[in-house]
Amino acid sequence: MQQKISSFFKSPDPSPAFDDSIVHGCCTNKNESEIRITYKRRAPNPDSLGGSGSDGGSTGKALERSDLGDGLSKPLSRKVLNKKRSYAQFHLELGQSDFLLRTCTTCGFKYAAGDEGDEKVHKAFHKNYTHGIQFKGWRKEREIRMPSLQGSRIILVLDDDPAPQRNKVQEVIKMMEMELGDGWIFHKHCKVYLFVDSHRVAGCLIAEPIKKAYKVLSRSLDGKPEATPRNKARPISNTLQFGELIFQRELVRRTPSASSSEVLEAGVILCEEEAIPALCGIRAIWVSPGNRRKSIASHLLDAARKTFCEGMELEHSQMAFSQPTSAGKALASSYTGSNSFLVYKTSDLNC
């Protein structure tokens, strides 16, 4: 006969309660099976023994802690918390172009904003770029005596001078290359003139020996060069027809070629074809931004004009300039007193 479904959900007979006759897991009834409970002591942790374990007291405490188990172990000594707080600077990236590196608008140096080390390096570089590279002086200096200088001096450095002087020149040249371009400013045949003021190199002029130079046409500086006359020719049709197809010719106007003058690499300076002899060429000249408009470039040009050729002082009009920029053209015109100053090319060197 089928049993009722309620019989399947009856709870089993409760186990007999343990009484005082059960001691340490061993039942007094000999007919019942004997249950043995064993404990296994784990190996002591060498880190908890406090090093080599030579101290007996610390070893015993470590063993006692290991017997308690991982869940019951408690550190014997309290950890000393560092009360000094450390702060970190966080930034929000919202799509800004200078999020990782910021570029200084004055010196062009790239640095990480908020980084103490980067900001310190940028501050030192910014000061060197603006006011000039720091210069403590040398024991033996080739100083050029000029009465017009008050509290400043001009030092001449040659290629055979000691290493500290040549290293300082290289440091100045690296600063010049940021504005004038790198890879062309200096070579071993150059003479370097350093303008030192307030223990800083505020300006630098690099001169080189040349054989010839060309006189600039004054009209080329006004932006209105004279155009050579062109022969009148009959008009040419700008259409071309093949059956029913008609092609329209595109007219491209070209600038007139200067056959009687030479166009230098500057692109806007025209000079005469005939060269004249020259001795001193100004390869590059630079003044720190914070010291401009103080006639430092003119003092450097005077020093080069008086000392470049031994035993001979050149005239203002005998100074030749290489690849002048817009600021260089203004300087050359102002120093020579004429728009027809001398320029030279790299192929005119006397080395």
- In the prediction, which pLDDT does 25 show? 45
What digits encode the pLDDT tens for the residues 124-154? 999 999 999 999 999 999 999 888 888 899 9
Q: Highest mean pLDDT range out of 41-45, 52-56, 83-87, 116-120?
A: 116-120
Pairing of β 280-287 and β 320-322? parallel
**Mean pLDDT of the 156-162 span:** 94
Residue 302 has pLDDT above 50, yes or no: yes
Q: Which helix (H) or strand (E) holds 205?
A: strand 200-209
**Mean pLDDT of the 55-79 span:** 50
- In the prediction, which pLDDT does 219 show? 62
Is pLDDT larger for residue 63 or for residue 219?
Answer: 219
Contacts of 100 by beta carbon, 8 Å cutoff, 6+ apart: 112
Contact 321, 341 (CB under 8 A): yes
Report d(CA 340, CA 220) in Å as an integer.
9
Report d(CA 308, CA 206) in Å as an integer.
11
- In the prediction, which pLDDT does 325 show? 82
- In the prediction, which pLDDT does 79 show? 60
Contact 262, 319 (CB under 8 A): no
DSSP 8-state code for residue 349: B
Tokens 């000039």 belong to residue: 132
Is pLDDT larger for residue 266 or for residue 189?
Answer: 189
Specify the long-range contacts of residues 257-260, CB closer than 8 Å, at least 24 apart: 257/228, 258/225, 258/228, 259/228, 260/228
Q: Highest mean pLDDT range out of 110-119, 170-179, 231-240?
A: 170-179
What digits encode the pLDDT tens for the residues 1-19? 556 666 665 555 555 544 4
- In the prediction, which pLDDT does 264 show? 42
**Mean pLDDT of the 184-197 span:** 94
Is pLDDT larger for residue 213 or for residue 85?
Answer: 213
What DSSP letter does each residue of 230-294 carry, written as one string? --------SEEEETTEEEEPPP---PPP-TTEEE-TTSS-EEESS-EE--EEEEEEEE-GGG-SS
How large a percentage of the chain has pLDDT more than 70?
Answer: 61
- In the prediction, which pLDDT does 214 show? 94
Burial class (CB in 10 A: 0-12, 13-18, 19+), 324: buried
Domains assigned to the chain: 102-131 (no CATH), 134-215+266-348 (3.40.630.30)
Confidence of residue 255 (pLDDT cuts 50, 70, 90): very low
Confidence of residue 207 (pLDDT cuts 50, 70, 90): very high
- In the prediction, which pLDDT does 170 show? 95
Residue 320 has pLDDT above 90, yes or no: yes
For residue 280, which phi and psi values (nearest 5 degrees)?
Answer: -115, 125
Confidence of residue 231 (pLDDT cuts 50, 70, 90): very low
- In the prediction, which pLDDT does 167 show? 95
The answer for 112, left when phi > 0, alpha when psi is -120 to 50, beta otherwise, is beta
Residue 262 has pLDDT above 50, yes or no: no
- In the prediction, which pLDDT does 72 show? 47
The answer for 323, left when phi > 0, alpha when psi is -120 to 50, beta otherwise, is left
- In the prediction, which pLDDT does 265 show? 42
Query: What is the rounded average pLDDT for all residues in the chain?
Result: 76
